[in-house]
Amino acid sequence: MATSTTHQTASARTGRRTTARLDAFVEEVREVVGRGMAPDVTAYLVGEKLAPHLGVDGSDGLLTPEQHEGDPERYRQHLLHAETDGSFSIVGLVWLPGQCTSVHDHVSWCVTGVHQGEEHERRYRLLPADAPGGSARLVATEDVINPVGAVCGFAPPGDIHKVWNGCREKAISIHVYGADISRLGSSVRRVYELPADR
Ligand SMILES: [Fe+2]
């Protein structure tokens, strides 16, 4: 498999070992992102590339053994790749049972895919205050349970959600963002601490 100088530099920058399958996926994402299409189209096409790699473990797997490790304190983010030009990043999120995010949205287009276990997601709509001096609030619009192989792609605005591991085992998801997570630290644009109906 072709491994460009650019990619070797990026892998060194993330400071993590990689797998042949991840290398192949990075090449696929690079090709899609390089087409310069609209964010929602890019997310859709990257999702198509991600799907066949999900759930593949062992010697041909997507992740190294270290990248399967969680953190008892909170869900853990493993930075898998950050493209040197900042155009995309790939992370693996490891969720122990019960671990969850805040309600948040994202800085860029985003693709998520479940690699192991089951990820639960609640999507929200933001309603403005209905009276002067009142508070904006969140209304839940959809609850989704994503099994291994499920892929979601979205682009802001309107991507407010929270995610948690509602199953009894470890869950792992792969996320691709149209932003440089090695620089930003996180893909979260805003955390919403507003009243929500659920
Ligand atoms: Fe998110």
How far, in Å, CA of 192 to CA of 59, rounded?
40
Give residue 133's pLDDT: 83
**What is the Å distance from ligand 1's center to 5 Cα?**
31
Q: Phi/psi zone of residue 55: left (φ > 0), alpha (ψ -120 to 50 degrees), beta?
A: left
**What is the Å distance from ligand 1's center to 163 Cα?**
7
Note whether residue 150 is domain-resident: yes
Q: Which residues pair with 104 in a beta bridge?
A: 161, 191
Domain with 42 in it: 5-191
**What is the Å distance from ligand 1's center to 160 Cα?**
8
Note whether residue 183 is domain-resident: yes
How far, in Å, CA of 117 to CA of 108, rounded?
26
**pLDDT higher than 60, residue 6:** no
- Any residues with CB less than 8 A from the CB of 70 and at least 6 apart, and which? 76, 94, 95, 96, 99, 170
**pLDDT higher than 50, residue 116:** yes
**What is the Å distance from ligand 1's center to 155 Cα?**
11
Give residue 20's pLDDT: 95
The predicted-structure confidence for 72-82, as pLDDT tens digits, reads as follows 999 999 999 99
The predicted-structure confidence for 32-67, as pLDDT tens digits, reads as follows 999 999 999 999 999 999 999 999 998 899 999 999
Q: CATH number, domain at 15?
A: 2.60.120.10
Note whether residue 62 is domain-resident: yes
Note whether residue 198 is domain-resident: no
> Is the model more confident about 15 or about 141?
141
Note whether residue 148 is domain-resident: yes
Can you give the pTM of this predicted structure?
A: 0.86
**What is the Å distance from ligand 1's center to 65 Cα?**
24
How far, in Å, CA of 103 to CA of 190, rounded?
9
Note whether residue 75 is domain-resident: yes
Note whether residue 196 is domain-resident: no
Give residue 52's pLDDT: 97
Note whether residue 197 is domain-resident: no
How far, in Å, CA of 130 to CA of 17, rounded?
51
- Count of the separate structural domains present in the chain: 1
